[in-house]
Amino acid sequence: MKTVIFVRHAKSSWSDFSLSDHDRPLDERGLRDAPHMAARLHENGIRLDHLLSSTAKRALSTARYFASAQGISESDIETEKELYHAYPDTIIDQVQMLDDRYKCVALFGHNPGYTELYNLFTNDLIDNLPTCGVFKVEADIETWIDFRPGKARITDYFYPKQG
């Protein structure tokens, strides 16, 4: 059994228009939601073996909160530029390249790719995965190369309360 926890980055700030999209930090809500959702994942008994994040500042900042809640060093977070605003096929390709020693991995990325990816693994379609939204996909496979829709399914979905 292999498990992927897909996490859309927490809410980011638009207050400094001189920053590139890639360099936008988390805003106040993001700084509140990321540690809350990281703790919630840990409280639900989910133990991560590995974290893989988009190189965008907001995604990597979100990943750091999840690493902390899991007792994983920030230096152990792997980054991949291909995950920045990736389409579902690219995201699945990244999962398929994971080291088979990992059983449960978290990937941190962006919309619209994550909403589209969610909809590939279920018939219960959503219009939008909220910021810091999390969905868990389980696959009864031995190697990551076999990870794909049809061999995996969403088993959990949660997101921070808005407001």
120: part of which helix (H) or strand (E)?
helix 113-120
pLDDT tens by residue, the chain, 163 residues: 999 999 999 999 998 889 999 999 999 999 999 999 999 999 999 999 999 999 999 999 999 999 999 999 999 999 999 999 999 999 999 999 999 999 999 999 999 999 999 999 999 999 999 999 999 999 999 999 999 999 999 999 999 986 5
pTM: predicted TM-score of the whole model, two decimal places: 0.96
Q: Measured in whole angstroms, how far is the alpha carbon of residue 119 from the centre of its chain?
A: 15
Return the closest-CA partner of residue 114 out of 100, 144, 94, 97.
94
Domains present along the chain, CATH in parentheses: 2-13+20-74+88-99+111-152 (3.40.50.1240)
Cβ atoms of 5 and 46 closer than 8 Å = yes
